[in-house]
């Protein structure tokens, strides 16, 4: 499905990013595994990808730092020869009530989760324009659509990603670069593992499908958007949330 | 001088798909050669590759005509 395609996934050492990297690899894409701090986990993802028989390597970069992103993109193009798919997944949380949120907490989340998408997108655009083809998939969040108490910074960033997706889609459509977002709802990760049964029950009451999503549920939609099956879709945000927000 | 102009002309003809005769030193990318903003960005990228140089965004914004591009390239070599 993605044989011969070359992909870069940011924040791919764990969680949803890891699932996306593996899903793209399983469908034949070569995958560059970006990580910020956790080299060991990134290496484990690389080894899983190698076992699938695709080209892969890990590469450290802080997505909010333009110089470091530029050299990452250069390295990926040098290694693979082209860059067909960018998945902007890297993200952090610094949850706090608005009244208690520090300026620093707000800035950190905006820098990684929103500015990071801008920086990475800008860095790959030159290559994709030359190829006259490219797919960019941004991982937003359902809370970017609905809002969520305690996450003013995260929600602002994720809502920003949706706006950025639409604008980039319009600017680059004439060059056949398609830009879409996915908005995951409650997905089972290390983060949700920490919740009590009571917290989980109250969460399920908000989800028509009455269960948590899996990282693979998100990864499969990203793989679809990255494939030729989605060649007439751009500027969209696909909710993967068990029907939580309609 | 002529050499640079010929190389620039070739890129413009390829990129913008225009008649060679329309590409004069005075021709404006947007007004005479029907380029949109993104076409100009793309053209600057091609020029950077062809002449193996980096054109800063502030400089690129000043390039409006074929002559501007040729003069900029000459000033850098």
- Model confidence over A20-69: pLDDT tens digits? 999 999 999 999 999 999 999 999 999 999 999 999 999 999 999 999 99
In A, minimum Cα distance to B48 occurs at A126
Which candidate in A35, A106, A154, A224 is catalytic? A154
| Minimal CA separation from A188 to chain B, in Å | 41
Which alpha helices (H) appear in A27-150, and where do they start and end? 39-51, 66-80, 103-110, 116-131, 143-146
Predicted TM-score (pTM) of the model is 0.93
pLDDT tens digits for A168-192?
999 999 999 999 999 999 999 876 7
> What was the pLDDT predicted at A194?
75
Whether A204 is catalytic is no
> What was the pLDDT predicted at B2?
58
pLDDT tens digits for A90-142?
999 999 999 999 999 999 999 999 999 999 999 999 999 999 999 999 999 99
| Minimal CA separation from A130 to chain B, in Å | 8
Does residue A221 have a pLDDT over 60? yes
Disruptive mutation site among A123, A126, A168, A177 for chain B (greatest number of B CBs within 10 Å):
A126
CB spacing of B38 vs A130 below 8 angstroms: no
- Per-residue pLDDT band at B3 (split at 50, 70, 90): confident
Could you count the other beta carbons within 10 Å of the beta carbon of residue A194? 8
| Minimal CA separation from B69 to chain A, in Å | 19
Which candidate in B14, B32, B36, B52 is catalytic? B36
Tokens matching residue A24:
């793209």
- Answer whether A5's CB lies under 8 Å from A30's CB: yes
Tokens 């390239």, residue located: B73
Distance CA A227, CA A217 (A): 16
Tokens 């050499």, residue located: B3
- Answer whether A223's CB lies under 8 Å from A19's CB: no
> What was the pLDDT predicted at A200?
81
Tokens 């996915």, residue located: A182
In B, minimum Cα distance to A173 occurs at B38
Tokens matching residue A154:
């995260």
- Per-residue pLDDT band at B77 (split at 50, 70, 90): confident
Largest CA distance in chain A: 53
Q: Hey, which bits of chain A come out as E strands?
A: 6-9, 30-35, 56-60, 85-88, 134-139, 177-184, 237-240
DSSP-based three-state secondary structure for A135: strand
Strand-pair partners of A181: A138, A237
ipTM of the complex: 0.82
CB spacing of B45 vs A130 below 8 angstroms: yes
pLDDT tens digits for A132-165?
999 999 999 999 999 999 999 999 999 999 999 9
Phi, psi dihedrals of residue B51, rounded to the nearest 5°: -105, 10
């Amino acid at each position: 499905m993605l044989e011969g395609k070359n992909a870069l996934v940011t924040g791919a050492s764990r969680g949803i990013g890891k699932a996306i990297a593996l899903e793209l690899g399983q469908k034949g894409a070569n995958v560059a595994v970006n990580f910020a701090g956790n080299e060991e986990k990134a290496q484990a993802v690389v080894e899983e990808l190698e076992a699938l028989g695709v080209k892969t390597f890990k590469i450290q970069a802080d997505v909010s730092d333009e110089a470091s992103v530029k050299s990452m993109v250069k390295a990926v193009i040098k290694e693979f020869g082209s860059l067909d798919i960018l998945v902007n997944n890297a993200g952090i949380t610094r949850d706090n009530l608005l009244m208690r949120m520090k300026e620093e907490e707000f800035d950190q989340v905006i820098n990684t989760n929103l500015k990071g998408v801008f920086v990475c997108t800008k860095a790959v655009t030159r290559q994709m324009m030359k190829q006259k083809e490219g797919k960019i998939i941004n991982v937003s969040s359902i809370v970017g659509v609905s809002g969520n108490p305690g996450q003013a910074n995260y929600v602002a960033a994720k809502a920003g990603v949706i706006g950025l997706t639409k604008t980039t889609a319009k600017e680059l459509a004439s060059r056949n670069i398609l830009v879409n977002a996915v908005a995951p709802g409650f997905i089972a990760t290390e983060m949700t593992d920490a919740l009590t049964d009571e917290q989980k029950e109250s969460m399920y009451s908000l989800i028509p499908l009455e269960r948590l999503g899996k990282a693979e549920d998100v990864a499969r939609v990203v793989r679809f958007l990255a494939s030729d099956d989605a060649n007439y879709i751009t500027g969209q945000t696909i909710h993967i949330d068990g029907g939580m927000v309609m | 001088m002529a050499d640079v102009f010929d190389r620039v002309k070739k890129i413009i003809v390829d990129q913008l798909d225009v008649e060679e005769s329309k590409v004069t030193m005075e021709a404006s990318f947007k007004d005479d050669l029907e380029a949109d903003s993104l076409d100009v960005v793309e053209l600057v990228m091609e020029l950077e590759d062809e002449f193996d140089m980096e054109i800063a965004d502030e400089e690129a914004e000043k390039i409006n005509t074929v002559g501007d591009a040729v003069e900029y390239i000459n000033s850098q070599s």
